[in-house]
Structure 1
């Protein structure tokens, strides 16, 4: 955001003693929006005109904005579900304004640097964030190369916009921003950034905007709507992202933090999910096994069958989501994950063909509930199972070795058909199921982004029914996803545990 209000991060006002009226250049915070995932209920603190919250709303979230500048409130109401005028520095105002509400994501886009005590603001809002809920914070980077050059020249001068905006009360480096969030009681999972490369020429851009605007005051959204800006975002920004990631402390305009309220050890509501396709011979027995080991669990089937599988599953109490015509494993898995995340705290997924024993469900559940783990990956291939053909075993171990070499994740099985996923973790990502091999993303993304992942060996048994594996398509998509996951998070993970 190229904003420079005198009082808030998003307002339009005149600085005391100034002769020229400031204005705000409104744009989406690209790194922040890219980290939103698919939340259910969002609180956008200091929402401005609502551009960032609007991105969450497009992904299905109910978005509540907080803003105190009247002009911004009116524009934000056009984009968000509701906008509240609340002074977040006041305990009384927050208690009165948010009573009875809860959220699974809090957004602070270039807002905390405008308050005297940002830790107090965060702590004041954390009671309204559910257990394991996420917080995304964007802070201007006072250690950017442009500021450093100014200091070398003996200059630290406030400006009308940017990192040294004259309404900023606090300044942060990448590390002091992390420390501030940790002191507020948050677990920082990963860091991103918006680059300070082309943006260093913003003064020239803003001068040009003023020169061509009627009356010298351009529309705050005219820049982001312009063709040059769209070309920059599509062609230049991806290159900048790669360069800035090499030295983010120096090359970042804004540091973007993804943190969360640490999940507590507690009983979690459970959905057991399966992808079913012509499982008439196994579905009744499989559901019986699930009911035996997890009688309180909901059962969810995403089904593409042409036989009686969906009727049997529904008769036995499962929720059945039909996917016809069949679109493949990836889209079905995407539907399963986000449908389960909308109704339960935990998803345990397994195949419906008895290759994975249902007896492991309570084990996976206990690991997530009691140990604060986010993903449990059941590895079939620590050693070769008798039920797995040798070519399949060698292919699976080769894919796992590639994941280890490319991403630093010491997995033995990237295609396991049995896993446990904490729902708050799933909602923190926007997984794209198009194509095959989605389990690669749902393992590597959380592992590289700071979540706790446990990998444990599991028995692999003879299949009941016919295999639906698409070997050629699966291999191609495996390679595509391994490459596409390279820029996600950080290489390696100190929180990936082999048991």
Structure 2
């Protein structure tokens, strides 16, 4: 708990048997009230490894894809009574040490969404992010900054924090089930009038860390452009918050 707010770390897992213990052990448990993992039909021993650590663990009966699994994670966090939900991938690409900083940003009630940016500072390149991915990330983020009318150094991180308020006010279950979910959720938060912030996040692209293939990354990039242009139209139309 932090400043009277209950904190839940929710982990969407897929083939995380080798990294879940490393991720779990780095979570600052002095402020975290709930640690929840939802496995999306991995064929390895992710579920068994998570249960052995004492993590509250669930397994999807069918593969829900990334966005579908994140939705279930977020709902489990809300059901647990969390006021702040930290979305943390259990592949140890993102350091759990930032959980206190991200939680503190939302505990003030000034912000509802916090992004952990890999491209702020030199974290991405020094951590091993492929140069093609870094350039694509920077280009898409610059374009999306213009479309969104806000400024962040990255929109493609999977490490995010949400307030209970924004998750209750936005119908996140109606959003996409694939990788574009995170940015659809970000746009929904902007439409809701929510304030957003970010922290700098060092990353580690180790052999065991997950990474989407180029074909899916390309599809994701095209989706980012499309939803950003739609949001520009929404802004030009002068739509009020929450509409």
TM-score by length of 1: 0.42
Among 357, 363, 377, the residue aligned to 2:101 = 363
Q: Does 1:285 align with 2:28?
A: no
Alpha carbons of structure 1 residues 359 and 470: separation in structure 2 relative to 1, 3 Å: same
Structure 1 counterpart of 2:241: none
Which runs of 5 or more residues in structure 2 are unaligned? 239-243
Structure 2 counterpart of 1:298: 34
Q: Does 1:443 align with 2:186?
A: yes
Partner SS, residue 442 of structure 1: helix
Contact preservation (8 Å) 2:140, 2:224: no
Structure 1 counterpart of 2:137: 396
How far did 1:379 drift?
0.8
Choose 268-277 or 382-391, whichever is displaced more. Answer: 382-391
Contact preservation (8 Å) 2:180, 2:223: no
How far did 1:295 drift?
5.4
Which runs of 5 or more residues in structure 1 are unaligned? 1-264, 493-499
Partner SS, residue 436 of structure 1: coil
Structure 2 counterpart of 1:346: 84
Equivalence map 1:398-477=2 (5 Å): 398-431=139-172, 432-463=175-206, 465-477=208-220
How far did 1:464 drift?
5.2
Partner SS, residue 416 of structure 1: coil
How far did 1:449 drift?
3.0
Contact preservation (8 Å) 1:274, 1:352: yes
Structure index of larger Rg? 1
Alpha carbons of structure 1 residues 448 and 463: separation in structure 2 relative to 1, 3 Å: farther
How far did 1:348 drift?
0.5
Name the structure, 1 or 2, with higher relative contact order (CA <8 Å, separation 6+): 2
How far did 1:440 drift?
0.8
**What are the superposed Cα offsets for residues 438-486 of structure 1, whole Å, 9 maximum, x if unpaired?**
1111222213431111122221223351424143234324433543452
Equivalence map 1:78-477=2 (5 Å): 266-290=3-27, 292-294=28-30, 296-304=32-40, 305-343=42-80, 344-384=82-122, 385=124, 386=126, 387-431=128-172, 432-463=175-206, 465-477=208-220
How far did 1:296 drift?
3.9
Q: How many residues were matched structurally?
A: 227
How far did 1:428 drift?
1.1
Alpha carbons of structure 1 residues 464 and 294: separation in structure 2 relative to 1, 3 Å: farther
Determine the C-alpha separation between the residues in 1 that align with 2:30 and 2:115. 19
Alpha carbons of structure 1 residues 475 and 267: separation in structure 2 relative to 1, 3 Å: farther
Contact preservation (8 Å) 2:10, 2:73: yes
Alpha carbons of structure 1 residues 348 and 294: separation in structure 2 relative to 1, 3 Å: farther
How far did 1:397 drift?
1.0
Computed over aligned residues only, the root mean square deviation of the Cα atoms, in angstroms, reads 2.4
Structure 2 counterpart of 1:233: none
